Amino acid sequence: MKAEEWKESISGRVREILLKAGEIILGAHVERRDIRAKGGKADFVTAYDVRVQEYLIGQLASLIPDAAFFGEEDTKGSGRILGNGPVFIIDPIDGTTNFMFDRRHSCISVALCCDRRVCFAWVYQPYTGELWTAEEGAGAFLNGERLHPADLTLEEGVAAFGAARHYGYDPDPLFRLVRNLFEHSLGVREGGSAAIDLCRVAAGGNICYLEPMISPWDYAASSLILHEAGCLITQWSGERITLDRSCSILAAPPQAYGELRRLIDRDKADHVHLGKDARPGKGNAAAPSEADLIEVTGEEDWQDETERTYRDGSLIQECWKDRSY
């Protein structure tokens, strides 16, 4: 089944499902018995994460019966395989720790993949009513208003980042970069929801977002929203992001992206390691093409990629100069 078959109705119907799922979050009263640790440091799941995911899978399966599901939580119907058919990638509550402490800064993230690419995306913040959406080739929107952030420099915006202890990476490279961002931007923020902060890059509220390791359900939907808004999203190395395994994330409009890559290259020259991507680095960063930004490839394809040095803004501008937004 191809994406064209769903275009007339899928977006509006998923919107209705998300609004209902948001009511579960808004009506939640989290107690200690509702929370359990997943096994990693500071990594939790609540009864409401499970309840929202089960609701989403049940409702979305009725829209596309042959769809598979790749969800954060271990629930009925959720798998870990990204095939060529329609696949929903779901994070039922992105920002679970925020949710546990009633910080009211969490969201529902749903991406629909077609032929191993994200073709539709929805990120819903129920506490504020913000709904970010995107369709491949048709633009990105916030509550119906088209997104096209200004192409600003780091010094003209607020930088956002994420950090999660349960991945077990060395935090020093991240916080060296955060210190650099503190000195080169209007300020730094850590909001606790990658999906929201990535969408705020697409909407112009954040000048960038970075995290040294993050799971696909946290960024799958936001990656298309960023792409359709004219922003870049790659791994720290410059390689394309992966949708079937965790990786690092770097997202920004073109000018700020180029500045971030230069900060990373400078730090990399001074230190042996820079974060831990899901796959080993291969020397110079590969320049992301428009098709590369949200494409999933197998290991064989990745091994065959042609590498290019990617250290200044010129290549970024070249990638995006023909965009019509």
pLDDT at 82 over 70: no
pLDDT band at 77 (very low <50, low <70, confident <90, very high): low
Cα–Cα distance for residue pair 3/135, rounded to 1 Å: 10
pLDDT of residue 270: 66
Q: Are residues 44 and 174 in the same domain?
A: no
Together in a domain, 181 and 278: yes
Distance, CA of 209 to CA of 205 (rounded, Å): 11
Q: How many domains does the chain have?
A: 2
Any domain includes 303: yes
What is the value of pTM for the model shown? Answer: 0.79
Provide the CA 244 distance to its chain's centre, in angstroms. 13
Overall average pLDDT of the 124-143 stretch: 96
The candidate with the shortest Cα–Cα distance to 290, out of 137, 153, 113, 147, is 137
Which residues form the domain of 20? Answer: 3-146
Of 92, 121, 146, the residue at which a domain comes to its end is 146
Residue 325 domain flag: no
CA 280, 281, 282, 288 torsion-angle sign:
positive
Asked which of 79, 113, 146 is the last residue of a domain, the reply is 146
Q: Domain with 128 in it: what CATH number?
A: 3.30.540.10
Phi-psi region of 196 (alpha: psi -120 to 50; beta: other; left: phi over 0): alpha
Model pLDDT for residues 16-48, shown as the tens digit of each residue: 999 999 999 998 776 666 666 656 554 556 888
**CA-based end-to-end distance of the chain:** 29
